[in-house]
Amino acid sequence: MTYNLRDTEQGRKAETVQAGLRQQIDYIRADRTLTREGKRQQIAAVYLQSKREIDALKADEANKRANEIGSLRRTLFGSAGTSDAQTAISYRDAQERVGALGIEDEGKAAKLLDQAMLSGDDVLVKAVIQRALDVQWVNVANKYIDNHPYYGEKLEQLWYLDSASSEEVNAATFTNSLTFHIEKPSELGNTHMEAQIEAVANGAA
């Protein structure tokens, strides 16, 4: 499942802002009491206001998601507050073993996860599933989820949230790219910088 920004609170608010902007622009364009420059000025003003609202929603969503990801990563991969030397050594060794696996070594990773779970090596288990998350080993992740209902649910949540930054080209990724996007009205032409648009909104030519 790929993270869909439109399903978030901020995404839904952004959609409302986008729809409101389109409605306002249509109203301004249809207003016969306004001159061409008057329409351009008002369109610049409503566009700029909507863009700032969208940018704030985008930043809020990114911050919220980053906090959730951080919390889930600490829950899944943290050392539960232990800092003894043996744990540190075990963690380092586990990272080295897992780090030696290439992206194409999902089968080896699955076997390593089986061995770690069988021996009760929680440090190695964490290292394997962290690597599975980083390189998208779905089968390894599912094996862990099937054997750890509580933490498996956390891993599913983390996988879902992490997919928002995936570069994979698919319909959901394309939708995400449009969630916090506002198309610039044709009346603003080649005016790109916010300061320039603000100047138009304030009555500059």
At 7-18, the pLDDT tens digits run 889 999 999 999
Name the pLDDT band for 192 (thresholds 50, 70, 90): confident
Q: What crossing angle do the helices spanning 149-162 and 36-77 adopt, rounded to 10°?
A: 150
Instruction: Tell me if 64 sits within 8 A of 196, measured CB to CB.
Output: no
Give the integer Cα–Cα distance in Å for 121 and 32: 75
Above 50 in pLDDT, residue 169?
no
pTM over cut 0.85: no
DSSP per residue, 23-63:
HHHHHHHH-TTS-HHHHHHHHHHHHHHHHHHHHHHHHHHHH
Q: Where are the domains of the chain?
A: 5-201
pLDDT digits (tens, 9 = 90+) for 127-140: 999 999 989 899 99
